[in-house]
């Protein structure tokens, strides 16, 4: 039996959940990973009756639910919130825009997201953390280790109370390791874990697309953090073989611009080796969902979502319970 294939709804928040559910089922998906924006999952409304109705709705459409995701609010917890964040989060969390107030309200909302996950009978909340030190990615003017240490300490101060609450609820938080987060590659993921004393409620939503174009070994990430991979995004990316006019930092142009060094692609149309990923996931005994996060600026999204579902179902397999040469001794 293969893993469940779900569709992350974050890039489809312009559609009602009713419309998207019908489309996702027609594309071949087994379930949805609900984003906490649009009408897909409204944390401020999600009492037990709301959650029961949401589960009944998904059951009506023969769709499963394994995780919910609150990336946009999570981003505001460690960032220095500005006009970009105001456009992503609710007016209630933004309030008067005072950065510290925004951070605290975002943290409260993230704890409530854990409660909502529990009401839905789930074990995993995916999301972002934000980072007070992402701005120091390129160390010039020179950045001291004390400054970086302070950034990880800030992350710990803000997230350990959230993680403690999750631990009490039996919920895991899965950070999508990603540029602009406290962890964006293997080494920063290690450092983030050290900062929070390897908190048992903290792990990762593995997404290979954010590693490939950086030159980070995305398969090694699976082996490094096998016991902390709580969820998996299937997303593809391509990057250029030869130098162009824009480098890895993006050149201040929009996603999809063909001058960029890298761009996201529909699953199976980029450079990520998904066969190696499936084999590594089998090695760490990951049996959770494979959730398609579809982001290809140059392709019709309905066509892309349908072919991505088909691709993931084709590439996925569980390991054999018998070595191929074991029969020789029979």
**pLDDT 10s digits, 50-66:** 999 999 999 999 999 99
Angle at alpha carbon of residue 47, lines to 46 and 50, rounded to 5°: 65
Our count of domains for the chain comes to: 1
Complete DSSP assignment for 99-119: HHHHHHHHHHHHHHHHHHHHH
Mean pLDDT value across the chain: 96
Distance CA 34, CA 40 (A): 6
Share of residues in the chain with pLDDT > 90 (%): 94
* Amino acid 97: pLDDT: 97
Radius of gyration of the chain (CA): 20
Share of residues in the chain with pLDDT > 70 (%): 97
Contacts of 6 (CB under 8 A, 6+ apart): 29, 30, 31, 32, 33, 64, 66, 289, 290, 291, 292
**pLDDT 10s digits, 194-220:** 999 999 999 999 999 999 999 999 999
Q: Which of 43, 37, 187, 31 is nearest to 110 (CA)?
A: 43
Q: What is the CATH number of the domain that holds 35?
A: 3.20.20.150
CB atoms within 10 A of CB 63: 19
Mean pLDDT for the stretch of residues 157-175? 98
Using DSSP's 3-state secondary structure scheme, residue 191 falls into helix
- Give residue 62's domain range: 5-329
């Amino acid at each position: 039996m293969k893993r469940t294939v779900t569709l992350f709804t974050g890039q489809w928040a312009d559609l009602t959940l009713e419309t998207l559910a019908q489309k996702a089922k027609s594309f071949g998906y087994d379930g949805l990973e609900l984003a906490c924006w649009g009408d897909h999952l409204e944390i401020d409304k999600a009492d037990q009756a709301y959650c029961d109705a949401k589960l009944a709705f998904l059951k009506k459409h023969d769709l499963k639910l394994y995780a919910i995701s609150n990336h946009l609010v999570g981003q505001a917890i460690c960032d220095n919130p500005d006009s970009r964040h105001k456009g992503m989060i609710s007016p209630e969390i933004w309030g008067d825009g005072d950065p510290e107030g925004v951070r605290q309200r975002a943290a409260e909302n993230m704890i409530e997201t854990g409660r909502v996950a529990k009401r839905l009978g789930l074990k995993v909340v995916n999301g972002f953390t934000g980072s007070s030190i992402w701005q120091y990615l390129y160390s010039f003017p020179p950045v001291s280790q004390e400054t970086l240490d302070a950034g990880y300490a800030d992350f710990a101060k803000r997230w350990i109370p959230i993680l403690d609450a999750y631990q009490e609820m039996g919920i895991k938080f899965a950070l999508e390791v990603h540029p602009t987060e406290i962890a964006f590659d293997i080494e920063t993921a290690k450092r983030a874990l050290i900062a929070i004393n390897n908190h048992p409620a903290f792990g990762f939503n593995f997404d290979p697309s954010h590693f490939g174009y950086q030159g980070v070994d995305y398969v090694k990430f699976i082996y490094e953090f096998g016991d902390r991979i709580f969820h998996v995004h299937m997303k593809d990316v391509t990057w250029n073989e030869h130098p162009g006019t824009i480098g890895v930092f993006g050149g201040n142009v929009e996603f999809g611009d063909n001058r960029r060094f890298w761009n996201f692609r529909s699953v199976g149309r980029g450079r990520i080796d998904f066969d190696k990923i499936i084999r590594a996931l089998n090695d760490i005994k990951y049996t959770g969902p494979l959730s398609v996060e579809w982001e290809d600026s140059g392709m019709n999204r309905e066509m892309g979502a349908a072919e991505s579902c088909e691709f993931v179902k084709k590439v996925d397999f569980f390991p054999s319970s018998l070595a191929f040469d074991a029969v020789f001794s029979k």
